[in-house]
Copies of this chain bind each other. A is one copy, B any other.
Amino acid sequence: MRNGSAGSVCLLWALTLLVAVPVQALAADPLRSWNDGPVKQSIIDFVTRSTTEGSPGFIPPEERIATFDNDGTLWQEQPVVQGAFLKEQVKALVKEDASLALKQPFKAVLEGDLALLSTMDEPELMALFAATHKGKTQEEFAAEARTFFKTARHPKFGVPYTQLAYAPMLELLQYLRAHGFQTWISSGGGTDFMRVISEDTYGIPPQQVIGSDLKEHFDDQGGHPVLRREAKVDHINDKAGKPVGIGQHIGRRPVFAAGNVRSGGDIQMLQYTKEQPRAGFTLLINHDDAQREFAYQEKNDASLKAARAGGWTVVSMRQDWKRIFPEGR
């Protein structure tokens, strides 16, 4: 009886150890997918000093706002996910009216494949969204987007797009939240598109997603009121539009912002975050990992130049990230 009891305690203890290992590893290293080095250290230093009372860098909890670009910063952008969604939408339109396949911009979308979509600039993409969204209610659009996320697969990795969020960035989001930061998305993508997956993928609720918007109007619909999308762009949340979107939705400057090299779309958000009395923390991700993800540059190198001028922290995916995607994906 005594021995049996001791044996049970031992077994329990052994089980506890097994369970405890990952928890301990997490506590010891909240950024375990980041390689040790100056980039990882600078993040830890910032969070430590901004949450240590009495530290000159202390930031009161209500001011701990962190904003993240989405495409290329939180998840992969080859292809841009909303571009892939758009192609599916156009295919569905063509099924109903075959003549559309010969008309622009639908023709270009269908023929141009994902590579062309990736090179489209924001206004072109938004014009297309307008053509595909007009008159739809919020609920109808969200249902379409949900179906896409369930059924679509990435052409290279063969998995749902939501599984291609970056492991190091998911850890960073959690690490910041664990230290009282409120995490936001500020992306050029469509607000309502991202809102469908932001909570489950990133732990970011819909009300903390800022993106590009079409105009909407209230429609009473005989006593069952809805919001309907119009074929008019309301806000482009890219480049100089990002600080504007942040001003509208948050009403104060972030103290932490992250973006990536590709189109220069995050420069102003990072400048707006860096240049303030207390100097915010600014992170710029460089896609230089052809083997594990993709390697691509920016035409005029504006983002990296701005990073050097502004003293931003530049992430080399190849050097600074131990893994790109979550394990066991």
Task: Please report A residues at the B interface, Cβ cutoff 8 Å.
Answer: 62, 65, 138, 182, 191-192, 195, 199, 205-207, 209, 213, 216-218, 220, 223-225, 227, 234, 240-241, 243-244, 247-252, 268, 271-272, 275
Instruction: With a 10 A CB-CB cut-off, give which of A209, A213, A220 has the most chain B CB atoms.
Output: A220
Beta-carbon contact of A225 and B275 below 8 Å: yes
Between A247, A249, A251, the greatest number of chain B beta carbons within 10 A of the residue's beta carbon is seen for A251
Greatest chain B CB density within 10 A among A220, A244, A248 is at A248
Q: How many copies of this chain?
A: 2
Q: In the docked arrangement, what's the CA distance between A275 and B275, Å?
A: 45
The residue that A191 contacts in the complex, of B207, B223, B251, with Cβ under 8 A, is B251
The interface residues of chain B lying within 8 Å CB-to-CB of A223 are: 271, 275
Which B residues are CB-close (under 8 A) to A209? 251
24 contacts between A and B (CB under 8 A): A62-B205, A182-B207, A191-B248, A191-B251, A195-B251, A206-B251, A207-B250, A207-B251, A209-B251, A217-B244, A218-B243, A218-B244, A218-B268, A218-B272, A220-B268, A220-B271, A223-B275, A225-B243, A225-B268, A225-B272, A225-B275, A227-B244, A227-B247, A249-B249
Q: A219 CA to B173 CA in the complex, in Å?
A: 29
Closest to A199 in B: B62
Q: Given the complex of chains A and B, what is the CA–CA distance between A248 and B229 in angstroms?
A: 11
CB pair A218 B206 closer than 8 Å: no
Residues of B within 8 A of A216 (CB): 244, 247-248
Q: Which partner residue on chain B sits nearest A243 by CB separation?
A: B218
CB A200 to nearest CB in B, in angstroms, measures: 11
